[in-house]
């Protein structure tokens, strides 16, 4: 009777789970065409892609020199997007089409990551086709929408997953040197995607020390360093000037730390979504440590628990940075899932169908939350093809004005859509980052003040703003047009002063 009931529950939970997966695929489709940022700050990435489309050398320019832009992340995602968009003959000012294409690129990279995770489950943890599919799908349901938006997070996931696979392959395949070299290449590609991977590299290194995997550590480290040098040289040869890389990807994310913000944007959402799952993980860690002298010979389990604990520490530390969000825990969740199922399989604590039911119920509950959080917005956007109707008239009118009057001049706008309509004429992008770096005195804005008084022709801002990074707007600019939500100021020429 128990067996019949278990099979019955499994059957219906599985149907509900796949229904949620189908619904999520539909949400991903709608998300591709969402006109504004869905989560995180996509527009910053898209704007940098636009700059690269104009000229490869503009991707990383000095934030302290005209046009004072900041590109916050490592170059790989931008370059991949640049190459694909260029091949499709899309112009740099077609920012909505660029948004659609970059999100499509992310979805394809997400599919590759899914295949890698499923391969880990089948070949190294030993799950059959159906079980590995369920667990892999559960992770991607949980992590929506961070890996299908215009951000390099999906590349980090891909190379992180490939790195995990490489370590497990190395241990299974007789410690082959070429696998260690491949691991180093994946780690280097991860760093070239986003600097977050640098923290994860320390987690991999910590495992190698504990497990005394000196050969793996040596060859992967040499491979990683050489790959970074070689790939950076190739990127430089392709015209992507890396001279100001530090000023952009290090100083550009110097947002400061805040425990209060970390609690509201990262820790609290994490505990609400994944607190129970994390408690189960902690319980399993305690059981594992109690049996340490017997279990340390299981290299895969040792690897996964070391990686999980290390990534947990680094993720919670990284989330202290202002601007962080729950996406800083995505790789941690993958580690927790891989360790948990490996532990359950190793200890035979409960039957496989029972913990598959658990994972599917987990996925269904998170998936339903996603539908409530994102469904209405995505449907409304798709039906009306726009969001923020109150501002749309303003934006179209201002863009029309700039098309007629800007010429070869420069302008500043508080509005992202306006700035992205003229990527080679807009300055001080992205605005939210500059507001932080100006307040924290990360960059020297004295050049901006001198340059703007001669070259910044128009300023488009909200009515209550009177100062632009130390520039007295009313002193040097005249109010030309009052729109409903914005004021357009024009530079007072020297002859008028």
Give the domain-ending residue among 340, 360, 381: 381
Residue showing tokens 């430089």? 236
pLDDT at 388: 46
Q: Does residue 42 belong to any structural domain of this protein?
A: yes
As given in the structure block, the two tokens for residue 24 are 């999520």
Distance CA 4, CA 64 (A): 69
Taking each helix axis as running N to C, give the angle between helix 153-172 and helix 177-191, from 0 to 180 degrees, rounded to the nearest 10. 170
**Considering the chain, what is the average pLDDT of its residues?**
90
Q: Does residue 467 belong to any structural domain of this protein?
A: yes
Residue 284 CB neighbours (<10 A)? 20
Residue showing tokens 């079980």? 131
Our count of domains for the chain comes to: 2
Residue showing tokens 């995990």? 164
Instruction: Check whether 2 has a pLDDT greater than 70.
Output: no
Instruction: Check whether 178 has a pLDDT greater than 60.
Output: yes
Instruction: Check whether 53 has a pLDDT greater than 50.
Output: yes
206 with 67, same domain: the answer is yes
Could you tell me what percent of the chain has a pLDDT over 90? 66
Note down the domain range covering 410.
389-491
Question: Between β-strands 467-468 and 477-482, what pairing exists: parallel, antiparallel or unpaired?
Answer: unpaired
pLDDT at 379: 86
Residue showing tokens 């890396």? 242
Instruction: Check whether 20 has a pLDDT greater than 90.
Output: yes
349 with 412, same domain: the answer is no
**Residue 34 dihedral angles phi and psi, to the nearest 5°:** -70, 130
Average of pLDDT values for 318-340? Answer: 90
Q: Angle at CA 437, nearest 5°, toward 470 and 444?
A: 60
217 with 289, same domain: the answer is yes
Instruction: Check whether 91 has a pLDDT greater than 90.
Output: yes
pLDDT in tens, 330-348: 999 999 999 999 888 887 6
Give the domain-ending residue among 354, 381, 408: 381
The CA–CA distances, whole Å, from 440 to 241, 258, 446, 466 equal: 26, 13, 14, 20
pLDDT at 494: 45
Question: Between β-strands 487-491 and 456-461, what pairing exists: parallel, antiparallel or unpaired?
Answer: antiparallel
370 with 275, same domain: the answer is yes
242 with 303, same domain: the answer is yes
Q: Does residue 151 belong to any structural domain of this protein?
A: yes
pLDDT in tens, 252-279: 988 888 999 999 999 999 998 899 899 9
pLDDT at 294: 62
Residue of 493, 487, 447 whose CA lies nearest to 469: 447
Distance CA 54, CA 267 (A): 39
Q: Does residue 496 belong to any structural domain of this protein?
A: no
Residue 83 CB neighbours (<10 A)? 12
- Using an 8 Å Cβ cutoff, are 248 and 72 in contact? yes
Distance CA 167, CA 51 (A): 37
Distance CA 4, CA 448 (A): 73
As given in the structure block, the two tokens for residue 51 are 């700059």
Residue 100 belongs to what H/E stretch?
helix 95-119
Sheet of 487-491, strands arranged across: 410-413, 456-461, 487-491, 477-482
pLDDT in tens, 92-120: 999 999 999 999 999 999 999 999 999 99
pLDDT at 393: 67
Q: Does residue 266 belong to any structural domain of this protein?
A: yes
pLDDT at 295: 62
- Using an 8 Å Cβ cutoff, are 252 and 63 in contact? yes
Identify any residues that bridge with 468 across adjacent strands, giving them in sequence order: 471
The CA–CA distances, whole Å, from 245 to 77, 123, 198 equal: 15, 39, 16
Identify any residues that bridge with 488 across adjacent strands, giving them in sequence order: 460, 481
397-402 long-range CB contacts below 8 Å, 24 or more apart? 397/483, 398/460, 398/483, 398/486, 398/488, 401/481, 401/488, 402/458
pLDDT at 323: 84
- Using an 8 Å Cβ cutoff, are 466 and 474 in contact? yes
Average of pLDDT values for 437-454? Answer: 91
pLDDT at 173: 82
Distance CA 456, CA 490 (A): 9
As given in the structure block, the two tokens for residue 316 are 């919670």
359 with 401, same domain: the answer is no
Instruction: Check whether 391 has a pLDDT greater than 60.
Output: no
199 with 260, same domain: the answer is yes
Q: Does residue 317 belong to any structural domain of this protein?
A: yes
Q: Does residue 15 belong to any structural domain of this protein?
A: yes
pLDDT at 495: 39
pLDDT at 392: 57
Rg, Å, the chain Cα set: 25
309 with 415, same domain: the answer is no
Residue showing tokens 């938006």? 149
Distance CA 257, CA 436 (A): 12
pLDDT in tens, 232-250: 999 999 999 999 999 999 9
SS3 480: strand
Distance CA 186, CA 366 (A): 30
Distance CA 73, CA 64 (A): 17
306 with 409, same domain: the answer is no
430 with 297, same domain: the answer is no
Average of pLDDT values for 381-400? Answer: 70
Average of pLDDT values for 467-485? Answer: 91
174 with 267, same domain: the answer is yes
pLDDT at 289: 84
pLDDT band at residue 296, thresholds of 50, 70 and 90?
Answer: low
Distance CA 196, CA 331 (A): 10
21 with 142, same domain: the answer is yes
Q: Does residue 137 belong to any structural domain of this protein?
A: yes
Give the domain-ending residue among 381, 410, 439: 381
Instruction: Check whether 61 has a pLDDT greater than 90.
Output: yes
């Amino acid at each position: 009777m128990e067996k019949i009931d278990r099979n019955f529950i499994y059957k219906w939970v599985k149907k509900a789970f796949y229904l949620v997966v189908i619904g999520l695929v539909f949400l991903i489709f709608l998300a591709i065409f969402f006109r504004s940022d869905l989560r995180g700050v996509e527009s910053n990435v898209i704007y940098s892609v636009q700059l690269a489309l104009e000229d490869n050398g503009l991707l990383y320019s000095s934030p302290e020199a005209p046009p004072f832009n900041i590109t916050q992340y490592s170059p790989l995602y931008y370059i991949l997007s640049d190459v694909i968009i260029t091949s499709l003959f899309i112009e740099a000012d077609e920012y909505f089409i660029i948004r659609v294409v970059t999100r499509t690129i992310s979805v394809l990279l997400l599919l590759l990551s899914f295949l890698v995770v499923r391969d880990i489950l089948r070949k190294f943890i030993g799950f059959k086709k159906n079980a590995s599919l369920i667990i892999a799908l559960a992770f991607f349901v949980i992590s929506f929408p961070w890996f299908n938006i215009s951000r390099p997070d999906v590349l980090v996931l891909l190379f992180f997953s490939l790195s995990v696979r490489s370590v497990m392959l190395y241990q299974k395949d007789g410690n082959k040197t070429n696998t260690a070299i491949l691991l180093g290449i994946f780690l280097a590609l991860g760093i070239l995607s986003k600097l977050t991977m640098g923290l994860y590299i320390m987690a991999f290194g910590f495992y190698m020390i504990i497990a005394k995997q000196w050969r793996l550590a040596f060859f992967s480290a040499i491979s990683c360093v050489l790959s970074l040098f070689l790939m950076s040289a190739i990127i430089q040869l392709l015209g992507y000037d890396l001279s100001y890389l530090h000023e952009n990807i290090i100083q550009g994310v110097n947002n400061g730390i805040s425990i209060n913000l970390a609690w509201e944007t990262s820790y609290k959402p994490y505990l609400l979504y994944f607190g129970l799952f994390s408690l189960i993980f902690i319980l399993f860690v305690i059981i594992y440590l109690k049996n340490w002298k017997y279990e340390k010979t299981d290299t895969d389990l040792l690897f996964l628990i070391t990686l999980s604990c290390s990534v947990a520490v680094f993720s919670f530390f990284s989330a202290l940075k202002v601007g962080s969000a729950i996406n800083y825990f995505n790789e941690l969740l993958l580690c927790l899932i891989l360790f948990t199922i490996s532990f359950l399989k190793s200890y035979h604590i409960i039957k496989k169908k029972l913990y598959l039911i658990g994972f599917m119920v987990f996925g269904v509950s998170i998936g339903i939350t996603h539908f409530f959080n994102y469904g209405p917005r995505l449907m409304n956007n798709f039906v009306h093809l726009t969001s923020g109707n109150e501002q749309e008239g303003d934006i179209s009118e201002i863009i029309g004005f700039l098309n007629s009057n800007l010429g070869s001049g420069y302008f500043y706008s508080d509005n992202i859509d306006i700035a992205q309509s003229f990527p080679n004429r807009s300055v001080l992008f992205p605005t939210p980052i500059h507001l932080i770096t100006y307040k924290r005195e990360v960059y020297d804005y004295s050049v901006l003040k001198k340059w703007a008084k001669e070259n910044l022709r128009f300023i488009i801002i909200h009515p209550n703003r009177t100062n632009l990074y130390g520039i007295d707007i009313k002193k040097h600019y005249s109010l030309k047009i009052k729109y409903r939500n914005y004021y357009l100021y024009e530079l007072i020429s020297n002859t008028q002063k």
